[in-house]
Amino acid sequence: MAYIGREPQIGNYQVCDAISVVNAQAAYTMQVNSVNVIPESVNHMIVSLNGVIQKPGSSYTISSSTITFSSNLATGDSIDFIYLLGNVLDLGTPSDDTVTGAKIVDNAINSEHYTDASIDLAHLSADSVDGSKIADNAINSEHYTDGSIDTAHIADAQVTLAKLAADSVNATKIADDAISEEHLDVTSITGHTAETSIADGDTILIHDASASALRKMTKANFVSGIGGTNTPCFSATMSAGQGIANTTFVKINFDTEVFDVGGGYDTTNKRFVVPSGEAGKYVFEFLVSVDGLDDAEFLAAALYKNGTRDDKSVVHDYSPSTNDLLFVKTGKIYNLSVDDYIEAFVYHNEGAERSVENTRSHFFGYKLIE
């Protein structure tokens, strides 16, 4: 670079050649390697005289390459050294793109050196932004990539009804045995209205324990599967009246079937016999009417199981007047095995044989659905 006048000494210092003191002389020429040198200014020098650093401007002055002390030096004085410091480097404003990373000290760039919006993605290393660098409530839906939210990001019990889209929960999201009675609306089975009755062709929803699945079946199959229509069952009457001896239990001649579903009633022996495969709980009842009982006489009825009177089934009634028609009825529930049988017996104490009227007497029974 060209300069008008003297080129400044930039960025270095020089040690002047030794100077011998002349008695009674204040001015001396400064040289480096026997060549005259001119300091930048009086303040760009360090001068030591007799072991004491001199103050620029007052202890000495300069003019071109001449240094003049404030008083004449004498024999015995010593100019220890003169350092020329050169000029302070003034770079001004560097040209665009002239300062490289090699010229910048480590950790010298701080936040005040950045302009707003000057840091972009290219300046960030991978995985360098952690939670402490993200402002509260700064993450919105546009910052998530599809499929980036998984179970680990959701706290327990944080998914509420409001977060579920309509029709978003299908059968794969429901655990086995999770649907209980309280979860079902009364209209949810048909999708319309609750039924108050069921036809034979209607379908019933059941749970198949062996398959851990819901199944459907018709009413007929459902009723059959839970015990059906109280069968076996029967109803029997008397074809004719029957004489009953005094003071003894006599089996009633119920010899006519009104119906016999399941084939359990025996008209020959006037008894019901539990068919094969039909063990269980049964209800039995019979009623008889006997004519001609006098005042204070009584009529009793009893069920016999396997030929033995069941005293807990005995029921009796007293005649309120002379030659009266009296009715008596008894019944009981039995837990029966296959081939067990039940019969109907009557007792009176009139003193003579009396007749059971066939038109008013009957015997029936049926199996309970369990």
- Please give the Cα distance from 272 to 246 (Å, whole number): 26
Alpha-carbon span 80 to 41, nearest angstrom: 20
- Closest to 316 in 3D by CA, of 290, 352, 284, 280: 290
- How would residue 169 be classed by pLDDT, with cut points 50, 70 and 90? confident
Residue 308: which residues within 8 A CB-CB, separation 6 or more? none
71 near 50, Cβ under 8 Å? no
Cα–Cα distance for residue pair 318/350, rounded to 1 Å: 11
**Any alpha helices (H) in the chain, and if so which ranges?**
219-225
Question: Residue 306 above 80 pLDDT?
Answer: yes
Mean pLDDT of 276-289: 95
State if pTM tops 0.75.
Answer: no
**Beta strand extents in 64-198 (DSSP E only):** 66-73, 79-84
* Residue at a domain's end among 197, 225, 253: 225
Q: 187 and 242 in one domain?
A: no
Same-domain status, 288 and 353: yes
Q: Same structural domain for residues 359 and 240?
A: yes
- Per residue in 259-279, is it b (16+ CB within 10 Å) or e — as a string? ebbbebbbeeebbbbbeeebe
Backbone angles phi, psi at 174, to 5 degrees: -105, 125
Backbone angles phi, psi at 122, to 5 degrees: -65, -25
Is residue 305 over pLDDT 90? yes
Give the CATH number of the domain where residue 250 resides.
Answer: 2.60.120.40
Nearest Cα neighbor of 254 from 274, 232, 234 is: 234
* Residue whose pair of structure tokens reads 């050196």 in the numeric block: 113
Q: Are residues 242 and 363 in the same domain?
A: yes
Query: Do the domain assignments include residue 24?
Result: yes
Residue 29 lies in a domain: yes
Task: Please return the burial class of 153, using the count of CB atoms within 10 Å of its CB with bins 0-12, 13-18 and 19+.
Answer: exposed
Both 262 and 326 in one domain: the answer is yes
Residue where one domain finishes, among candidates 173, 198, 225: 225
Q: 191 lies in which domain range?
A: 183-225
Give the pLDDT confidence score for residue 369 in this predicted structure.
86
In this predicted structure, what is the pLDDT of residue 338?
97
Q: Give me the amino acid identity at 217.
A: M
Q: Residues 60, 68: contact at Cβ < 8 Å? A: yes
List the one residue out of 299, 356, 314, 310 whose CA is nearest residue 336.
310
- Which of 46, 62, 84 terminates a domain? The answer is 84
Task: Tell me how many domains the chain contains.
Answer: 3
- For residues 357 and 241, state if they share a domain: yes
Task: Enumerate residues 6+ apart whose C-beta is below 8 A from 148.
Answer: none
Q: Is residue 153's pLDDT more than 60?
A: yes
Q: Are residues 284 and 345 in the same domain?
A: yes
Give the residue with greater pLDDT, 17 vs 205: 17
> pLDDT higher for 267 or 204?
267
Residue 145 clears pLDDT 80, i.e. is over it: yes
Domain presence at residue 97? no
> By the 8 A CB rule, do 216 and 203 touch?
yes
Alpha-carbon gap, residue 362 to 348, rounded angstroms: 18
CA distance 151 to 158: 11
If you average pLDDT over residues 183-206, what whole number do you get?
67
Give pLDDT, residue 75.
92
Query: What digits encode the pLDDT tens for the residues 57-69?
Result: 999 999 999 999 9
